[in-house]
């Protein structure tokens, strides 16, 4: 089954995500109109390396494997994403092509945002932009750490597991 067409997310659905749970209510109210809920079955390719990055999502449930094509080795697992992780972040940072393939390892549920719409909201509303970009920076840092671990053990058949805590949210 491909990715479901989805339905609009609710404030309650955004509040249940670790990513947004501590964000101010006003920020969630401005985000909810852009959010859709989508589902995909295990084995579904959510996007493929080289495709245009046009959406970003928070993994609400399930696991997703990120793989990169390596000459003479084929698909190499970079990282396994779980509940609360971001995928498709390139869509908010100027688009272009995605740099990995994302495959649902289990049935997944995503809270998805169109990249251009979310980037435009971040530009217009700096409070929203602060929270979104802070979380994107954390996700990028986590991916960089995973890449460094892969470089330390190029021939390991097991993807690294990163057990760092999510960033603390700033409360006013």
Q: Is the pLDDT of residue 170 over 80?
A: no
Q: Which residues pair with 102 in a beta bridge?
A: 47, 66
Among candidate residues 35, 30, 27, the one with its CA nearest the CA of residue 10: 35
Contact 101, 66 (CB under 8 A): yes
The answer, as to whether pTM is greater than 0.75, is yes
Sign of CA dihedral 55, 121, 137, 110: negative
Edge to edge, what strands does the sheet with 45-47 contain? 45-47, 101-104, 64-70, 74-81
Contact 44, 1 (CB under 8 A): yes
Q: Is 2 exposed, middle or buried (0-12, 13-18, 19+ CB in 10 A)?
A: exposed
- Among the residue ranges 50-64, 66-80, 114-128, 151-165, the one predicted with the least confidence is 151-165
Structure tokens at 127: 């409070």
Residue 1 confidence (pLDDT) = 36
Confidence of residue 113 (pLDDT cuts 50, 70, 90): very high
């Amino acid at each position: 089954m491909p990715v479901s067409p989805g339905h609009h997310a609710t404030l309650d659905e955004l509040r249940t995500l670790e990513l947004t749970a501590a964000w101010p209510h006003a920020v969630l109210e401005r985000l909810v109109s852009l959010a859709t809920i989508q589902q995909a079955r295990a084995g579904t390719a959510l996007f493929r390396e080289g495709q245009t990055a046009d959406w970003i999502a928070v993994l609400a449930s399930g696991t997703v494997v990120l793989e990169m094509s390596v000459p003479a080795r084929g698909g190499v697992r970079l990282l396994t994403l779980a509940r609360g992780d971001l995928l498709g972040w390139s869509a908010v940072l100027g688009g272009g092509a995605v740099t990995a393939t994302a495959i649902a390892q289990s049935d997944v549920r995503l809270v998805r945002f169109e990249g251009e719409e979310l980037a435009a909201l971040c530009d217009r509303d700096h409070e929203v932009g602060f929270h979104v970009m802070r979380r994107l920076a954390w996700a990028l840092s986590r991916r960089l750490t995973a890449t460094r671990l892969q470089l330390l053990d190029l021939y390991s058949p097991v993807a690294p597991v990163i057990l760092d805590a999510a960033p603390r949210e700033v409360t006013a």
